[in-house]
Structure 1
Amino acid sequence: MYPSEEKSYWDEARAISARGGKSLVVDFEHLIEFDFELATETISRPYKYIEVLEKSIFEVTGQEMHVRFKNLPEIKMVKEIRSDQIGKLLGVEGIVTRVSEVKPRINLAIFQCRRCGEEIEVLQSGEVMKVPGVCPNPSCGRSGPFDLLEEKSEFEDWQRIRIQDRPERLRGGEIPRFIEAILRDDIVDKVKPGDSVYISGILRTIQERGRKSTKTTFRKYLEVNYIESKSRGVEDFEITPEEEKMILELSRDPLIVRKIRDSIAPGIYGYEEIKESIALQLFGGVARELPDGTRIRGDCNVLLVGDPGVAKSQILQYVSRIAPKGIYTSGRGTSAAGLTAAVIREEDGFSLEAGALVLADGGIACVDEIDKMRDEDRVAIHEAMEQQTISIAKAGIVATLNARTAILAAANPKFGRFDPKETVSDQIDLPPTLISRFDLIWPMEDRPDPKRDEELARHVTEVHMDPEVRVRPPIDPELLRKYIIYARRNAHPRLSKEASERILKFYVEMRNKERDEEGGSVPITVRQLEALIRLAEARARMRLSNEVTAEDAEEVIRLMKECLRRVGVDPETKRFDIDAIMTGRPKTKRERLSRVLEIIKGYYSEKGKEISEKELMELAKEEGIPSSLVREAINVFLKSGDIYEPKPGHYMPLH
């Protein structure tokens, strides 16, 4: 049995022993080549044969060492584990969703009889502590009491993790199953929530207990022999030569971008710009790490804000199914971990549990009703969307988890329907700092329009009459999924000089639009510039190109302009004002808020006393400022400390 022609596993074991290692990792393929019958028996009766191998190593090296097997011939999903595999060595793949703290577990307990002082060794196995029945001293023979001698007992590190089926391995409607796994000694603390892992482990069971008696059912768990963290990128998807040929042929189609767009939620009528944005999001830009360690994200984030019944949820569900790694969830989250991560209190301590954004690492998270997320998520999601990590420090657990995830989110307007006369921030229950982290924001309005209504109604009725024809996408969903994987794996586009100049020209022209006006608004910022670059790279990827062309730049600029036209304008002046998104307050609104403060200060300077809310409303009304804005100004300036309330309904400037 050998890892190479020159070196045997015995040599490897001696080398590990010399450097103080605790485990010898054996490739199971080598064991099969060495002795097929021994390999078969090891899978069927792992405890017996692993013990034999470990004794042999001890005889050679003089040191106790674990034998750990990797690369088992069959790898199962969690949902495929059954009762006929109990006691056998299994290979299992999944994603880590929960990790407990590391604890000391007793292996060999030394007890001392209180009556005669006799010391008794009791080997421990299972979850319940075994204690001596009677004192083995012939002159004593009593049944205790016994004291545990911790300083003489033998302990090892112990940790429990939970793994579940990887979402990308499931098909629509399948529920991911989970199983707990126990790590011991030198393999604890090797993984964190969100990691994709391969495990070699022995399937064991523990009897479930009711309130008054034990049950006839047992809970499964894995006693881990070997664990390895794997990449969660697109590298681990298999594409056959035939599929590669179809993908390359498809990429040469001059209408490929339109075909990909039209293959997204084909059963839903219209929304061409939104579908194109989602197509760009699925392919994504190129993530880059700068020499100083700064990471620039390549994933695009898209927000849909829409009226009831405009198919937001259906679009999100469809995208989660065709994306190579897609998770669909609600803003409230489906577990205690919510969208980001949480420290969970369990019977025996605390565990760190991954939320949807961590589980979707390397893919896309489709978050419906994002405006209803938990307060803890509101804080953590800012970091997740920009730095693409989630940091947590609670109950002694300090960790940073990867969340390299594109976010496709949907939100409902506070007052039922989207109002184009108001800013996005005023209409959804999300802070402007979070809204500004979306590359594209699309309102989905249900406006009466005779022509569009007729086309929509005809589309819906025809879908019911002949769904096979009307809902057939230009590209088969499974092929599109493979096309996305291939593009993300093989295409790493960079800006051409022409594309760079076009994006630069657009940015400078937009910035200078308001330059001539005193105190003009800011139409666009560097954040939108970076978004344009990501979107342009994504469009090049859709063509499997390693170069972003001027046409790519023009098309994403068109998309960005249309997006800004819908949500990035001052409702009063109708001019581009990115602060409508970035802060929720366009220039005209900021000026009016400031004018309310000036009225309060002017009143105090003139009369030397506080102004009542009624008087303030009247003075503001004379200048055309509505009462709703006056109330907003009062709240803003009370929070900022510019004014205070000496008595209810009366206000004074602080300085």
Structure 2
Amino acid sequence: MSEAGFLEEKLPVEERFREFLESYEVNGRVKYKDEIRNAVAERRASVVVDFTDVIEFDQELAEEIVENPLETLDKLDQVVTEIASAFANKKYPMRVRFTNLPEKVRLRDLRERYVGKLVAFDGIVTKATNVKGKPKKLYFRCEACGTVFPVEQRGKYYQAPTVCPNPECPKKTGPFTLLENHPKNEYVDWQLLVVQEKPEELPPGQMPRSIEVIVEGKDLVDVARPGDRVTVIGVLEAVPNRVPKRGSMVVFDFKMIANNIEVSQKVLEDVHLSPEDVERIKELSKDPWIHKSIILSIAPAIYGHWDIKEAIAFALFGGVPKELEDGTRIRGDIHVLIIGDPGTAKSQLLQYAARIAPRSVYTTGKGSTAAGLTAAVVRDNITGEYYLEAGALVLADGGVAVIDEIDKMREEDRSAIHEAMEQQTVSIAKAGIVAKLNARCAVLAAGNPRYGRYVPERSVAENINLPPSILSRFDLIFVLRDVPDPKRDRRLVRYILNVHKEADKIVPEIPADLLKKYIAYARKSVKPKLSEAAARIIENFFVDLRKTAAENPEMGVPITARQLEALVRMSEAHAKMALRSVVEEADAIEAVRMMLAFLSTAGVDVETGRIDIDTIYVGVSKSNRQKRLILKDIIKEKFKEKGTCVHLKEVVREARKRGLNEEEIEQILTQMVNQGEIYEPKTACYSPL
């Protein structure tokens, strides 16, 4: 038979699709007939069809659906509606949603060759409008004869009647009035999303591309929110960016008419893991030195910084989030802050961490606003409506938000990350939009010291331009100091020169792509439980450290419940690094070591040398706080006696009697004036507030 004769005899698309739905079997059951029956019973508006099943059943049918979706999809919906209506014993509209298209196109490659084709691509939802009603059928009244009749609304544009259907109408051409509230008007839910390409797919030096996605149907609207990672399956359309006029140049924009939107339910579905990858990962985890290998694989071109690299590993693997029965959520993400002198490789460490994280967003403090970090409410140019646009912390949901130069952020912008770091949500109440978005991400940040270089005689809070309210939310804070040391300097120089001489030989113990998959697998599949032995180590450390403060009234509070939770998270992260299902003693011991490393550098009262967490929590150590109280009392007493401000010399004279030295008196008075505890009406003369 000739090819032409074969094509003539081929069944129509709808008949072949009906045959597929009614006969495709899996394990002895007719898969899609059962799916439609269940959908009717559960009152669902659509049935999801795996496209690989269509290819297996009839490859030519699959090709026709991909090549001519505008013609075929409506016919397929009619077939499903007929089958569903037979089950429901009444008309039951139902739509077909496809999943698992064999090939995904990169968002930036959606061009003219794909116009009118069924395609799939991945991206991140950055904007979502309110749900609106798009008319399918509208009723009109002819004002000449009073006849009420429907007009089907097809396509994108409003269809108004031109002729009255009543043969006895005295004036066939109207006018016609739209009956907006007619009970038989039919609408379909409609929403516009803007989907942006994923950061990890972005070519170097390129701006992220985005595309508008039109979503129709009650089963698809509001499925995806700003910040969600999605797979969009739909038809690419070219739409003129303005109404075409004769003789004028018209440029067409690409838009996607969604057939299906799949939200990445698991936060790390972005990284594809084949069975071979999983086998390789499990084999790697059996290495007794796996922790060392992972830490050495983080920024191998950077010399040293073992504790900081381990802290980054903790942030990448994370602890285990917990949902309590009362609805309380305990975060599992570990926040890390690095404060360092210039030229200590802070930015390189952060950039490498962002590269090997399965999901990450990198930003800098100088180039970030509050809205850019959390979420913005934006006005649509066409409709004038407001909608949400997700920021960096929302886009990093389920991964790591890397913020370099966090100290350069403006105060009003920095305050926006308070909620995101502790509650791991972003609350918005602007322009009539009240929403709460997820920001379940670890924050890995770096900043420079306030005075150019770190001053060890001053506390962390004094050294960095960050308020205690943000400092206290970091689980680990490390200080990178550039201190001259001939032996260390020689080792550093040799290492750096070796990197330049033999760059191709500086390779991580675990390749970056494998480490990314290893982290993804650990975060997705490993949820270690705290053992009794590990819990006892953490408990003893916490109680013993606080016991020393209880026995010595002059000591500040060395550790609080916030550090206790951080110890649990770090123990879980250490167990995850070896893919262990139980947190062992060794994990708790390493978490305690890291906590002591943090407290002994960042959480120390520089005057007494003792651990005092208040230096981070309130920016003032206990010894400093007591001296402030003495100075405040002196100023109050002298002010009462004189009725005017108290001169510096008088304050110094009285304070020296109470055990304070002159240099620290002036320094503390300056701090008190700056923080609004006392008032300086004229130079070197103080009044109480």
TM-score, with length taken from structure 2: 0.84
Q: Within 5 Å, give how 1:183-332 maps onto structure 2.
A: 183-186=215-218, 187-209=220-242, 215-234=249-268, 237-332=271-366
In 1, the alpha carbon distance for the partners of 2:38 and 2:279 equals 47
Q: CA deviation at 1:210?
A: 11
Aligned residue type for 2:252: F
Structure 2 counterpart of 1:179: 211
Deviations 1:599-651 (A, max 9, x none): 232124434x242565776567644343342233245455xxxx789999987
Deviations 1:28-79 (Å, cap 9, x if unpaired)? 3444455443332222222222222334455562244333333333333323
Does residue 405 of structure 2 align to residue 405 of structure 1? no
Instruction: Pick closer, same or farther for the CA change 1:245–1:149 going to 2, 3 Å.
Output: closer
Is 1:98–2:127 an aligned residue pair? Answer: yes
Change (3 A) 1:495 1:94: same
Shift of 1:532: 1.6
Which letter does structure 1 place at the counterpart of 2:233?
S
**Equivalent residues in 2 for 1:607-618 (5 A)?**
607=642, 609-612=643-646, 618=652
Contact 1:596 1:633 in 2 (8 A): no
Q: Are the counterparts in 1 of residues 370 and 414 from structure 2 also a CA contact under 8 Å? A: no
Distance 2:29 2:393 in 1: 46
Structure 1 counterpart of 2:565, which letter? E
Question: Which residue number corresponds to residue 116 of structure 2?
Answer: 87
How far 1:168 moved relative to its partner?
A: 4.6
- The alpha-carbon deviation at position 260 of structure 1 amounts to 1.5
Q: 1:23 to 1:279 in 2, by over 3 A?
A: closer
| Closer/same/farther in 2, CA of residues 19 and 450 from structure 1, 3 Å limit | closer
Name which of structure 1's ranges 300-309 and 622-631 shifts more when overlaid on structure 2: 622-631
Match of 2:564?
Answer: 529
* Alignment partner, residue 451 of structure 2: 415
Alpha-carbon shift at residue 586 of structure 1 (Å): 0.6
* Alignment partners' CA distance in 2, 1:225 and 1:474: 44
Change (3 A) 1:302 1:15: closer
| Letter aligned with residue 160 of structure 1 | L
Work out whether residues 599 and 616 of structure 1, in 8 Å CA contact, stay in contact via their aligned partners in 2. Answer: no
Query: Quick check: 1:159 aligned with 2:188?
Result: no
Amino acid at match of 1:486: Y
225-234 or 60-69, which moves further after superposition? 60-69
In structure 1, the residue corresponding to 2:482 is in which secondary structure? coil
Shift of 1:579: 0.6
1:97/1:354 contact within 8 Å kept: yes
Where do 5+ consecutive residues of structure 2 fail to align?
A: 1-20, 86-90
Deviation at 1:278, TM superposition (A): 1.1
Q: Match of 1:450, as an amino acid?
A: P
Q: Hey, what's the Cα distance between the residues in 1 that align with 2:449 and 2:243?
A: 47
For 2:67, the equivalent position in structure 1 comes to: 44
CA distance in 2, matches of 1:405, 1:455: 36
Structure 1 residue 160 displacement after superposition:
0.9
SS in 2 for 1:203: strand
1:175 and 1:287 mapped to 2: Cα distance? Answer: 33
Counterparts of 2:464 and 2:68, CA distance in 1: 59
Separation (CA, whole Å) in 2 of partners of 1:96 and 1:372? 28
AA matched with 1:247:
I
Q: Which residue of 1 aligns with 2:17?
A: none
Contact 1:621 1:627 in 2 (8 A): no
Q: Secondary structure of the residue that 2:450 maps to in structure 1?
A: coil
Distance 1:487 1:480 in 2: 10
C-alpha distance 280-631 of structure 1, shift in aligned 2 (>3 A): same
Deviation at 1:180, TM superposition (A): 1.4
Assess if the C-alpha contact under 8 Å between 2:571 and 2:591 holds in 1.
Answer: yes
Query: Conserved in 2, the CA contact under 8 Å of 1:380 and 1:391?
Result: no
| Aligned position for 1:387 | 423
CA contact (8 A) 1:163 1:178 kept: yes
Gaps of 5+ in 1: none
Give me the CA root mean square deviation.
3.4
Alpha-carbon distance in 1 for matches of 2:244, 2:29: 60
Distance across 1 between alignment mates of 2:230 and 2:94: 23
Give, in whole Å, the separation in 2 of the partners of 1:554 and 1:368. Answer: 30
Offset of residue 467 of structure 1: 0.7
Q: Which amino acid aligns with 1:599?
A: I
Residue 47 and residue 506 in structure 1: after superposition, are their counterparts in 2 closer, same or farther (change >3 A)? same
Aligned partner of residue 573 in structure 1, secondary structure: coil
In 2 relative to 1, CA 191–37 (structure 1 residues): closer, same or farther, beyond 3 Å? same
Partner of 2:463: 427
Q: Is the 1:208–1:217 Cα contact (8 Å) retained in structure 2?
A: yes
The equivalent residue for 2:535 is 500
**Shift in alpha-carbon separation, 1:375–1:345, aligned structure 2, 3 A:** farther
SS at 1:531's partner residue? helix
- Would you say the 8 A contact 2:377–2:389 is kept in 1? yes
| Corresponding position of 2:672 | 633
- Report how far residue 525 of structure 1 moved: 1.2
Who is 1:70 aligned against?
Answer: 99
Q: Contact 1:620–1:630 at 8 Å: present in 2 too?
A: no
Distance (Å, rounded) in 2 between the aligned partners of 1:265 and 1:403: 26
Alignment of 1:402-481 (within 5 A): 402-469=438-505, 471-481=506-516
- Alpha-carbon shift at residue 324 of structure 1 (Å): 1.6
My pick for the range that moved more, 617-626 or 257-266, is 617-626
SS class of match (2:237): strand
The CA distance in 1 between the partners of 2:594 and 2:43, in whole Å, is 60
- Write the letter of the residue equivalent to 2:198: R
Report the TM-score when normalising by structure 1: 0.88
- Decide which moves more: 424-433 or 584-593: 424-433
Going from structure 1 to structure 2, the CA distance change for 1:259 and 1:16 (only over 3 Å counts) comes to closer
Q: Give the alignment partner of residue 607 of structure 2, picking from 550, 564, 572.
A: 572
Give the Cα–Cα distance (whole angstroms) in 2 for the partners of residues 275 and 287 of structure 1: 22
Contact 2:244 2:250 in 1 (8 A): no
Q: Which amino acid aligns with 1:420?
A: P
Residues 251 and 52 (structure 1), Cα distance of their counterparts in 2 relative to 1, 3 Å cut: closer
- CA deviation profile, 1:388-417 (whole Å, cap 9, x unmatched): 222222222222222221111011222222
Indicate if the aligned counterparts of 2:321 and 2:330 stay in contact, CA closer than 8 A. Answer: yes
CA distance in 2: counterparts of 1:120 and 1:416, whole angstroms: 77
Q: CA 1:166/1:297 → structure 2, altered by over 3 Å: closer, same or farther?
A: same
Q: Which deviates more, 207-216 or 354-363? A: 207-216
Amino acid aligned to 1:627: E
The residue type equivalent to 2:280 in the other structure is M
- Structure 1 residues 298-336: Cα deviation after superposition (integer angstroms, max 9, x where no partner): 221110111222211111111111112222112355688
Name the SS of the counterpart of 1:91 in structure 2.
strand
Mapped partners of 1:613, 1:216: distance in 2: 76
| Aligned counterpart for 2:629 among listed residues 547, 570, 594 | 594
Which deviations, in whole Å up to 9, do the C-alpha atoms of 1:442-497 show, x marking residues without a partner? 1112222222222222222221111112x222222122222222333443323333
Deviations 1:191-224 (A, max 9, x none): 2112222222111121234999964432111111
Deviation per CA, 1:271-305: give whole Å up to 9, x if none.
12111211222222222223333222222111011
Given that 1:420 and 1:566 are in contact with CA atoms closer than 8 Å, whether structure 2 keeps it comes out as no
Distance 1:483 1:653 in 2: 59
Q: 1:129 to 1:287 in 2, by over 3 A?
A: same
User: Relative to structure 1, is the Cα distance of residues 38 and 352 closer, same or farther in structure 2, using a 3 angstrom cutoff?
Assistant: same
- Aligned pairs for 1:353-364 (under 5 A) are 353-364=389-400
